[in-house]
Chains A and B, each alone.
Chain A
Amino acid sequence: MTSTLVIQISFFVLAIASTASALGVIIFKNAVHSALSLILTLLFLALFYLQLGAMFIAIVQILIYAGAIMVLFLFVVTMLAPDASESEVRDPLRWQRIIAGVLGVALVGALSYLLFTGVATQSIVTTAGVNSLSHMVDTRGNIEAFGLALFHGFAFPFEVTSLLIVVAILGALVFGRRT
């Protein structure tokens, strides 16, 4: 009883904090502040995963998104060192704000429709059985279940993804060499 209350309270605290930091990403004029705000958002997301009991995903979220990808973003943004005066430039494409607003409202509407009618979550709930992933997590532990799923169940997609990444790296190399 108390634990669900605690979980609900922590969920709402996290939800408000992560929404605020996510808003900060688009509201801050300074690009460095936006990038840092995005890092904060990703850390809050990791806390959400932690709250759901997904320890490994939470830590990998911190490691890869907050620690590696966002650091690269931050690196580039700081190297360009935007001036405060530069961000005051007027938007040359004024009509795109209206379209962005309409599309944003559509996205929020669609997501909240799915969320409140529970169309997407129903199929996950019904498949919870002996062979499901949640059962495996309970019996064998978080990481072991993850590793088994990755290297036994999803070995082929995993290898294909790694091939894709190698191709991407080679492409980056080729484009980098040209200059």
Chain B
Amino acid sequence: MLLADDAVTQLIHGIISWQFLQFVVTFLVIFVFVLTGAVILVLAERKIMAWMQDRLGPIYTGPWGLLQTVADMIKLLLKEDIRVADSDKLLFLLSPSVFIAPVIAAFAVLPFSPYISLPGTGLATGIVYYVAMSSIDVVAVVMAGYSSNNKYSLIGGLRAAAQMISYELPLVLALVGVVMLTSVLAGAPGYPGHDSIGTISLRQIIDFQGVWHKTGNPVLDFIFEGNTPWEWFILIQPLMLVIYYICGLAETNRAPFDLPEAESELVAGYVTEYSGVRWAMFYLGEYGNMTIVSAIATILFLGGWSGPGVAYLTGLNVPVWGLVGNLLALVYFIVKVYLLCAVFIWVRATLPRLRSDQLMRFAWLILIPITLGNILLTGALFLLISGLGLPTWVFLTVTGVINWAALFGFIWVVGRATVATTRRAQAPAIRARLRASTTPALPLRDGIPARVPELP
């Protein structure tokens, strides 16, 4: 009895507390963000792509077509849930849930603002947790492809699995550069950490990009406290941001890496047989993944929620100003995330789909060597520069300069590789045409080529 009383009082104390309120607020914000994010992104995608292709896009439902995706969503929820005959029933019904669960779970480590962040954001294993969750998605894709009893679904599922496994490696390796930078900076004056032990916690990586020594001037402090764009890791490792972003495109099966859903060959890949709510869940998961990739890129390379006024207002310890600061942080974070999502859409409207031979070669022959080289280079430069006794900012500058140069080198290499692989793929056709043009055209006899060329 005593034990039960103890548990109940503990429960009550647990519920009536600021931590629990924080949990509830954050959970609601994140959950609503996940669910509505897809609706907003689909609309944004259709509108932006229409604008880029000189069309109007949806215009009839609601003002300026704004309610189109809401109407689509309602239609999807009311649609019949068709189940394929002779399918693997259990796996077929489960796979949408398996697809969307890790997406929602991955949101647990994303800090939206200093206050609006689940206890999970303090998780010391932030980046690894995110990667683990995104790796579970592949299981659902294979399940959907296998259980649909459809050749197109199976091929789509296997393509997706192969692609996601290959691109997960450079994705993780691209993030290692940032972790190395935090371990270089840890313990420096103003920076968190000690003994040059870095961090893989997302919350702390944001702190590493916003170190500002107070000047006492309120205007300068208001703008720059916790908001120091010259410390963002994009300036030091721009190439890694680009590679991470490319791998993110591949992980989410977005164009130009949408081979698993290539509509001209595979109908819709592994989602071919799904309809109604389950189809919507797959799309919710895909757009959720897109948001997560953008959010992780924002946190690691673009300073997370940092912007003018956030750290200053939350540091005042006045509830009202703290609220304003947190809302500002939320706005900055979501604007940055959606700007990166807009790049996703831009890429989709711009680039044609990769061929399957380019897909694997790009990951294994270009991305993985470059990311491994970046790790090696960052470590070697740090050893060299700290061995010479030079300060940390020299290391950061040198790394930044080399990385920016490497970014343009990367663009050049990708251009060359694209041309080379395209030439190789087209070579048989070109050779055949050359052969055809050198041999004399067969004379026609009654409109049909003569079987044997006549001698002149």
Contacts and interface: CB of A to CB of B under 8 A. Distances in A.
A78 interface: yes
B145 interface: yes
Interface stretch (B156-164, B233-241, B254-262): B156-164
A114 to B, nearest CB: 31
Contacts, number: 82
A74 B142 contact: yes
Interface in B130-185: 131-133, 135-136, 138-139, 142-143, 145-146, 154, 157-158, 161-162, 165, 168
A66 B139 CA distance: 9
Contact of B158 (A55, A78, A148): A78
Interface in B241-258: none
A78 B132 contact: no
A10 B146 CA distance: 33
Nearest to B9: A2
Interface string B1-24: 001001100100000000000000
B162 A1 contact: no
Nearest to A72: B165
In this complex, the member of B3, B91, B125 whose beta carbon has the largest number of chain A beta carbons within 10 angstroms is B125
Contacts of A2: 3, 6-7, 10
A79 interface: yes
Interface stretch (A92-100, A139-147, A161-169): A139-147
Contact of B128 (A30, A32, A60): A60
B132 A62 contact: yes
Contacts of A143: 124-125, 200
B129 interface: yes
Interface in A10-64: 30, 32-33, 36, 39, 55-56, 59-60, 62-63
A56 B3 CA distance: 32
A136 to B, nearest CB: 12
A55 B142 contact: no
Nearest to A56: B125
Nearest to B200: A143
Contact of A75 (B6, B123, B158): B158
B339 interface: no
A81 interface: yes
Contact of B197 (A55, A72, A147): A147
Interface of A: 1-2, 5, 30, 32-33, 36, 39, 55-56, 59-60, 62-63, 66-68, 70-72, 74-75, 78-79, 81, 141-144, 147-148
Given A62-B133, A71-B135, 10 more contacts: A1-B3, A55-B123, A67-B138, A71-B138, A71-B165, A72-B165, A75-B142, A75-B161, A78-B158, A79-B158
Interface of B: 3, 6-7, 10, 88, 91, 123-125, 128-129, 131-133, 135-136, 138-139, 142-143, 145-146, 154, 157-158, 161-162, 165, 168, 197, 200
